[in-house]
Structure 1
Amino acid sequence: MLEKSAVPAIDRADVILKLLAASHVPVRTTELAQQCGLAKSTLYLLLDSLEQRRWIEKSGGGYIIGVGLYVLGAAYVRHDGLQNAFRIAAADYVSEHNEVIQLATLQGSEVVYLAREDARRPVRLVSDIGTRLPAHACALGKILLAQLSDDEVRRVLPDTLVSITERTLTKPAELLRDLADVRKSGLGRDLEEVAAGLNCFAVYVGETSMGRPIAVSSSIPIDRIDKRREKAIVQSLVKVAAQIAARVGARR
């Protein structure tokens, strides 16, 4: 259901767009009506208005995000110096290690991926730009949550921590102990907690001038990592984080 606000039409449109963005398949109007808690007559008016602006499009008996939002998103990337700073620093990392590197921020209890530079050898990831993951489950989320106090972490996280793999930390006390180690080491880790066979390491970049906390990470198949290589990867991530922070003036 929707909460009342000063501009309910915007809130309703926001909910619709987020539902479409989160789905990998077209969403039918009946499902939208149920999830939004809207009468179909109201929903149809909103859908028509969004479709006219090309923010959504009809596809396969339902709706998907439209090209109009892609254009707006592309404008954000053009105006955001963070993307360019990441690309410059990430290029050296990929050239040296031939592993993927990602940039993300914390939004509530979730990590939102902002950018990614792929390696020459592919890795199956869930970190497409705009993708969200539960912060408690991934290395990026842990390093970003570690910048908060334990009380702040408790307020941010949901009551139930979902399990993505059998290794995902789902007990709050266990997660808080892990975050204490992250604060000491300055390194976020997830060891097959998001995807089986994949380890991830994350380093904090800092807080941008807009107050947005950001971090970088690299996800590596377990058959390509050992203690020696892990050390080299982490050292390079620290270097990348420092370069990005210097370019965008992030507060560390």
Structure 2
Amino acid sequence: MALPTPAEAGGSQVKSAVRTVELLEYFAGRPGMHSLAEVQTALGYPKSSLYMLLRTLVELGWVETDATATRYGIGVRALLVGTSYIDGDEVVAAARPTLDRLADETTETIHLARLDGTDVVYLATRQSQHYLRPFTRVGRRLPAHSTSLGKALLATHSDDQVRHLLPERLEALTEHTLTDREALIEELRLIRQRGYAVDHEENTLGLRCFGIAVPYRTPARDAVSCSVPVARLTPGREQEIRDALFTARDRLALATRHL
């Protein structure tokens, strides 16, 4: 028997599903606890239906409340679903030996991330062996234009595709972030020529990152990077890291060729 269309099933069911996802994404992007008024102002839902939706999600474990039961935040079930995504992802599984080897070779922090709209989402991390090191958790989301991972992935798209994806003015995370889309596109052309991207303290002050796309599909969806505190960088060290990334890219291309 054919499934009913959204119109036949009733628009309220579809709207409820959309609101549920938007609500969970709101909490996921804003850590901490939020009042009903805060959430209602941000999402614009009727307060009564929003309250009922929140209470339902609290009962199901997707949303949690504080001791007063008046403030809300993301629940533990969201973590379980996120962990399931990572555990079941074929690229993450195939990349593990290469990420381990790259971390051992460079002794620096290594990331694997995926392009999701205008952001990159971190799928795997190997922490640096040094005392001075960056901290990035799996599941973190950052603007693609401010990271070497994101720029390496954006460079696999055409200029017109990038213009369609990104606004003319981009968010500044530090004083070094490129905030003009056309200036970013000029850098993406350079990245295509040399094969890797660099984040010059554009996401975190004092940190330089080198990123390279994993070419198992076109445009690329995933990239790997190496993050190094500027205080530890020398021209020779940069070259070592770039060479290690190119080698890792070739290994990843081989490991993901069947995906």
Q: Same fold (TM over 0.5)?
A: yes
Could you list the runs of 5+ residues in structure 1 that have no partner in the other structure?
A: none
Cα 1:208–1:80, aligned 2, differ >3 Å: closer, same or farther? Answer: farther
User: Counterpart of 1:155?
Assistant: 164
Structure 1 residue ranges (4+ consecutive) displaced by more than 4 angstroms after TM superposition: none
Say whether 1:237 aligns with 2:242: no
**Of 169, 192, 195, the match for 2:201:** 192
Q: Which consecutive residues of structure 2, in runs of 5 or more, have no partner in the other structure? A: 1-10
SS in 1 for 2:215: strand
* Contact in 2 for aligned 1:208/1:248 (Cα 8 Å): no
Q: Percent identity?
A: 35
> 2:239 is aligned with what amino acid?
K
CA contact (8 A) 2:149 2:212 kept: yes
Q: CA RMSD in A?
A: 2.1
From 104, 120, 123, give the equivalent of 2:133.
123
- Specify the structure having the higher radius of gyration (Cα): 2
Find the counterpart in structure 2 of residue 114 from structure 1.
123
Rounded to whole Å, the distance in 1 between the matches of 2:250 and 2:37 is: 48
CA-to-partner distance for each residue in 1:97-153, whole Å, 9 max, x for gaps? 21000011111111111111112225234x322222111111111111100110100
TM-score normalised per structure 1: 0.90
Alpha-carbon distance, 1:87 to partner = 2.2
**One-letter amino acid of the structure 2 residue matched with residue 153 of structure 1:** V
Alpha-carbon shift at residue 167 of structure 1 (Å): 0.9
2: CA distance between counterparts of 1:250 and 1:196?
A: 38
TM-score, normalised on structure 2?
0.88
Asked if residue 46 in structure 1 is aligned to residue 56 in structure 2, the reply is no
The one-letter code matched in structure 2 to 1:215 is: A
Which deviates the most, 158-167 or 54-63? Answer: 54-63
Give distance in 2, aligned partners of 1:225 and 1:5: 56
1:169 pairs with 170, 173, 178, which one?
A: 178
Of 16, 20, 23, 1:13 maps to 20
Greater CA drift, 9-18 or 236-245: 236-245
* Matched length: 246
**Post-superposition shift, 1:89?**
1.1
Partner of 2:190: 181
The question of whether the paired residues in 2 share the 8 Å contact of 1:108 and 1:157 is answered with no
**1:31 aligns to what SS in structure 2?**
helix
Deviation, 1:208, is 5.3
SS in 2 for 1:161: coil
